Structures are given as C-alpha cells and as structure tokens.
Amino acid sequence: MKKIVIDPITRIEGHMAVETFLEGGKVKEAKSSGTLFRGFEIILKNRDPRDAARITQRICGVCPAIHAYTSALCLDDAFAIKDKIPHNARVIRNLILGSNFLQSHILHFYHLSIPDYVDLGKVVGKVAPFTPAYEGDFRLSDEVNAHLATHYLQALDIRRICQEMLAVFGGKMPHNVGIIAGGATLIPSVDRINDFKGKLKEIRDFVDNAVLPDVLTVAKAYRDYFEIGKGCGSFLSYGGFVLDEGRFLKSGIVNSDRQFEELDPENIAEQVKHSWYADSESGKNPSLEETIPSPEKEGSYSFIKSPRYKEKVYEVGPLARLMVNYFTRQEEITRVAEPLLKELGLQIEEVPSVMGRHLSRAVECKVLVEAMSTWVEELVPGEPVYTEVEIPEEGEGYGLAEAPRGSCGHWIKITDKKIARYQVITPTAWNASPRDDKGVPGPIEQALIGTEIKDEGNPFEVVRIVRAFDPCLACAVHLIDTKGKDLGKYRIA
C-alpha cells in the first residue's frame, strides 16, 4: 500500500498530521493525529470554578468565545442560577458568540480554505506565504480567480471588524472578559449598541455581496466536491444560542436514515480503545470520566478520545446544524438554505460533502447576521447584566452549546468550593476522533476513506477534505506518539 503523510497540516488551528494509505489510487485507510498536548483538564483542577470561563478560552485562540460561553452555562448550572441570568446578559452572550461565529466562518472560507481553490500566487506573485503550494487543480478563470483573491484581502479587514464587534461587549479579542458565570460584565449603553450595529452592518454587506456569491462560485467550479468526503452521514447538534425559550439553532440528531431524534446528553460517552488512555475509563459519560493517560497501550494510535452518542459515530459542525435544523424545519435556516440549494440543483441529502460543509458555513453566516441584527435591538440600555453567584461547597453541572466548529460540552464537579473535575469535549474531538471500541473510524477518517487521489504529488483531495471540517487540533488533542510512528513528513512510500 502506498502511504501519504502530511505533517503538518497548515491553515487549521493547532498541530495536526494526517496519514493515508492508498490502494488502486484510492484511500483505503486514514488516520488523523494531533501532535500537541497541553493538559487543560489537569491544569483546571483545584482552581476557583469561576476561572474556568477564562482559562478554557485559552484552549483555542481562533474561537475562544465558545469556551467562555459553554463554561459560563456549566457554571450557572453548578451554581444553580441558570434560570436567573438577566435578559441583557443572555443577549450579550449571544452577540459575543455570534461575532465569533462570523469571524471564524469568514476566516475559514477565505484564509484557511481558499488557498486550496484560488491560485493566490497568480495574483499577488510567487511570494511567501503564498508559495510554496500544491499545484495543478486551480479551475477558476483568471478574472474570477483575481476577483476572489481581492476578497481574500478584503476579508482580512472584515474578519478584523468581527473581532472589533465582539470587543464592544467582550472587552477584547482573542480571549474576551465579558462572559462570566452569572451573566456578563458590561451594562449596555446606547453608544455601545450603536457601535455594535455599525460594525454588524458592514459585515452583513460583505456576507451578502461576497461570502454567499463566492461560495456559490467555488461550489459550481468544484461541483465534484459534492461527491467527495461525504463522511459518516449521521449528524448531531447540542443546539446553539440560548434564547429565553429554547435555543435558536435546534438540538437533536439526524441519523443516516434521515430520521430526527431528540438529544439526551446522558447518551454521550467517550471511548478510548484506540486512544492512549486507560481502558477503565472507556464508555463513560463525561460527568464521571477521569483523564488517565496510558501512552504504552497496545493498539492505540491517537490521544484524541472517541466521543460517541449511543455508541455511534456522529459528525458535528455547521453541516450537522444545517441537517438538524432543516429536518426540524427551523424557518430562519430553511429560508436561507433553500434558494441556495435550488440554485445548485441539490437535494438536502446531497449536501453532506466537502463543498456542502463550505455551503453550510455560508448559510450560517447569513442566518446569523440577520438574527444578530434583531438580538442587538433587544438590549435594554442601563438594565443589569449580572446575577450574584455563590460558589457551593459541593456541586455539579454541565453546559452544552454550539461552537463554529460544532458541539462543545463542559462538565464540572466542585468540591470544597474548588474544581475537583473538569471535562471538555470539543467539536474536533467528535470529528477528528480515532476508531472507537467497535473499530469504527471517526468522521474525518470516514470522509477520507474511499477517496480517489488524482495526483499523489499534490494530494489536494486529502487536504480539502480535512480542512472542510475546520479542525481545531489544539482543542482535540491530548498527546503525541513519537515512538516509531511515521508521522514525520509528507512523503510517498
């Protein structure tokens, strides 16, 4: 079997390597591997529980806001105040998280993904960091190619403005200080509201005039990528953006037979048979689980664990949210998604794929700029944003929310007013997970398997599939195997 190793995979968050084994020009086996461990769950122990909303943000600088958000939900739960969060605070939290979604999605499409579809070197010249790069499969006409390259540069400004919009209530970005257990820190003023709105308008124009048309342009030129990287076909969402009643983006699961089911968090468990962790912890719900590394364990090849729902593999992320909200007929989503599907001549069943994941992100950008324009008007100037918290002697809680990259969960146990246990399951742990106890590969691995690699010297298909998931490896990864494993370099053997 031929082997292609790509290490490092760039234009993602964190450190990642991918190994694929080819037979007859097709991927027969695939392994994704993270290459950095920082041990957040260990670092969090014995700290003041409130600090978790600050420290967990440092898991990922590209989308830290979701960790502040999920952690705050988790702490609100453990402090028994989750029904007492003031309306203003709930709105501010959503505006902060929404800003992060927009920056993350725009960054992902233009700066992390477009270099795989648009020949930037042709426009800006063969200069670093646009060269070296894979060669060959650039299909856009010179004119369209140049147009999208201009948007690459314009999007640098727009994503910056997303960060500035976040900072209006978040104080700074990356790593906001505005979301805390009990609510938020800043009472909104008319001035701040206007500042936020002005920025949102500019972003909204860009979404309408660039993001949506550009994604369609790329999708039409690379139509075959609706057939590539289909993945596991089952989708899960915790539900995103807490409203006074329920959630804006619905929670639930859609199985490969397209049946919708309500979500019950009790059914989430992490398996570790192929991960470097003690088997005694396999199959446990995160509220009970300890992280016990076991780097010598036979048959393991990753330190990412395998989160599973009812012991089955699920993809999370914008595509999963699109599927869940489409099948539950969430109107804000279908209204945006349906015309786009029509223009591409696609049925919803045909969306799961590399291009479908990019399309889902564009849908979400549009849905969010519209929703946030409404939410910001719900803020009441001068009204409180905070409910006093009291740290209990003993307590437990969890928070589930949706990150730009998918479902994010935090679980806490408090003893003596301190953190006794903290577990995080990040979206990328779902998507980049290794084989589970039954030997079933994770979603990214499944998306790679069966793919035809046209040019082994420039394996575009592999990197396009991996990046379409927008993996965030710093989030997912727990250790690295340097012993004897050939994760070293990109080569063809």
Partner 1 sequence: MSEEYPVVWFQGAGCTGCSVSLLNSASLKFKDILLDEIVPGKKLNLRFHPTVMAGQGEMIINVLRDTKEEKKGEYILIVEGAVPTLNNGIFGAVGEKTILERVLELGKNAFITVAVGNCAAYGGIPAAKPNPTGCKSVKRVFEENGIDTLVVNLPGCPPHPDWMVGTLSVALRGLPLDLDEIGRPRLFYGKTIHENCERRAYFDKGKFAQKFGEEGCLYELGCKGPYTSADCPLREWNNGVNWVIGAGSPCLGCVEPEFPDNTSPFYRKLSWEEMKNEKNCN
- Least spacing, CB of residue 304 vs partner 1, in Å: 14
Which is closer to partner 1, CB of 159 or CB of 366? 159
- From the list 437, 332, 428, the residue with the least C-alpha distance to 375 is 332
Q: How far is CA 135 from the centre of its chain?
A: 28
- Least spacing, CB of residue 427 vs partner 1, in Å: 15
Task: Considering only the stretches 160-168, 346-354, 363-371, 372-380, report the one whose residues sit in contact with partner 1 under the rule CB under 8 A.
Answer: 160-168
On the CB side of 30, how many CA atoms lie within 13 Å of its CA? 28
Residue whose tokens read 């928070």: 399
User: Which residues, numbered 24-63, are part of the site for partner 1 (CB under 8 A)?
Assistant: 35-39, 42-43, 46-48, 50-51, 54-55, 58-62
- Least spacing, CB of residue 10 vs partner 1, in Å: 4
Mask 468-487, x = binds partner 1 (CB under 8 A)? ------x----xx-x----x
- Least spacing, CB of residue 259 vs partner 1, in Å: 38
User: Which residues, numbered 330-359, are part of the site for partner 1 (CB under 8 A)?
Assistant: none
* 30: three-class secondary structure by DSSP: strand
Which is closer to partner 1, CB of 189 or CB of 256? 189
- Least spacing, CB of residue 71 vs partner 1, in Å: 13
Which is closer to partner 1, CB of 188 or CB of 442? 188
Q: State how far the Cα of 447 lies from the Cα of 442, in Å rounded to an integer.
A: 9
Residue 288 makes contact with partner 1 by CB under 8 A? no
Q: How far is CA 274 from CA 104, 155, 303, 476, 491, in A?
A: 31, 40, 8, 15, 25
The two structure tokens encoding residue 124 = 């800006």
Radius of gyration of the chain (CA): 22
Q: How far is CA 58 from the centre of its chain?
A: 15
User: Which residues, numbered 67-106, are part of the site for partner 1 (CB under 8 A)?
Assistant: none
Which is closer to partner 1, CB of 190 or CB of 264? 190
Task: Considering only the stretches 169-177, 240-248, 397-405, 408-416, report the one whose residues sit in contact with partner 1 under the rule CB under 8 A.
Answer: 169-177
Mask 172-201, x = binds partner 1 (CB under 8 A)? xxxxxxx-x-xxxxxx-------x------
Q: State how far the Cα of 163 lies from the Cα of 96, in Å rounded to an integer.
A: 9
Q: How far is CA 287 from CA 56, 265, 360, 420, 425, in A?
A: 17, 10, 31, 11, 11
User: String of b and e for 7-21 (b: at least 16 CB within 10 Å)?
Assistant: bbbebbbbbbbbbbb
- Least spacing, CB of residue 101 vs partner 1, in Å: 15
Crossing angle of helices 87-106/190-206, nearest 10°?
Answer: 30
Which is closer to partner 1, CB of 172 or CB of 223? 172
Cβ atoms of 453 and 27 within 8 Å: the answer is yes
Candidate residues 335, 384, 394, 456; the one interacting with partner 1 per rule CB under 8 A: 384
- From the list 286, 328, 324, 331, the residue with the least C-alpha distance to 305 is 286
What is the pairing mode between strands 252-254 and 260-261? Answer: antiparallel
Which is closer to partner 1, CB of 185 or CB of 255? 185
User: Which residues, numbered 99-158, are part of the site for partner 1 (CB under 8 A)?
Assistant: 107, 111-112, 115, 120-121, 124, 127-134, 153, 156-157
Which is closer to partner 1, CB of 347 or CB of 482? 482
Q: State how far the Cα of 97 lies from the Cα of 162, in Å rounded to an integer.
A: 11
- Least spacing, CB of residue 347 vs partner 1, in Å: 33
The two structure tokens encoding residue 442 = 């994770």
User: Which residues, numbered 213-232, are part of the site for partner 1 (CB under 8 A)?
Assistant: none
Candidate residues 138, 260, 301, 386; the one interacting with partner 1 per rule CB under 8 A: 386
Q: With CB under 8 A, what is the number of residues at the site for partner 1? A: 87
Which is closer to partner 1, CB of 246 or CB of 488? 488
